[in-house]
Amino acid sequence: MNILYSRQPSARGEIRPVLLIHGGAGPRTTELALQAAQDYRRGLQDALDAGRGALMAGRSALDAVCAAVMVLEDNPLFNAGRGASLTREGTAELDAAVMDGDGRAGAVAVSRYARNPVLAARAVLERTEHVLLVSPTAELAAEWDLATVEPDYFVTAHRQKQLDEVLQREIAPSKSGTVGAVAIDASGGVACATSTGGMVAQAVGRVGDTALIGAGSFASSKSIAVSCTGEGEAFIQGVVGHDIAARVRYAGATLEESTRATYDEELAGRGATGGTIALTPQGEALIAHNSNAMFAGHWDGDGDHSAVYA
């Protein structure tokens, strides 16, 4: 397991806002074929700035993670929102989830009309009695006062070319690519948000780990907030997000110990790769991956200082 960033909680027990983001984990050469690394760093920094601005304005952790993820969904460099990976039929089917530390959660799968799937997931949390909705209609998104688009809005020339090359077996299909954020706010609340376009050339109707609470997304004030990226089927089978949280809560392990054990037992055993961003309500934070590379960033409440990795 590789560690990009690690932060220990304050010895004085003080609460300070923290924001972690990721833009996917996988083979670096594949992702950097589209643009130079500085474009990815700029996109990550824009997302950090949006989430940080929310936290500095005294808004909630849920507000912050949604603000950060929206920026990444709007950036076609990342596999979420516009620029999402395409199914074998050439369509974009988007998944997203949010969860607040108080236990409330919302998710959407096979979303085609909401411009920002993360906001559709938040609407499920705040405006329905459900947790997961599949294929929400344009009419429902409009009823939730969300911006809607035609499905072809999400399809970019780069992703279409990528799909064609996979279908012609010129390149191997990517099994990773997701964006996410976790945060602590000034009151000590935690939240997570995750959004993805899924796998290149996936079957129509396939749902990965992102929208499944406990697999790719999880948050609890009693343990951690975590957002995952990687080979979704393995993250589902290993219930990776909740497995890390359970080791922290019930075994009393540190965040690093818990993450390392979950990687070893649930990912490595399945020959799977990916990454996680996670933090505890006490301020312990970790960005880790077992893939070749990971796009990520952090802000730890220290003014304008932040860092991105690409």
Residues with a catalytic annotation lie at 178
Is 94 within 8 Å of 83 (Cβ atoms)? no
**Long-range CB pairs of 50-57, under 8 A, 24+ apart, other chains included:** 51/19, 51/21, 51/181, 51/183, 51/299, 52/17, 52/19, 52/299, 52/306, 55/17, 55/19, 55/183, 55/185, 55/186, 55/301, 56/17
- Token reading at 39: 């474009």
Instruction: Compute the distance between CA of residue 195 and CA of residue 210 in angstroms, rounded to an integer.
Output: 6
**Phi/psi of residue 4, each to 5°?**
-90, -35
Q: Give the C-alpha distances (Å, rounded to integers) separating 64 from 5, 21, 95, 124, 192.
A: 20, 11, 19, 18, 9
Residues 6 or more apart from 223 whose CB is under 8 A from it?
245, 246, 248, 249, 280
- Token reading at 241: 């997000």
CB-neighbour burial class of residue 26 (10 A; exposed 0-12, middle 13-18, buried 19+)? buried
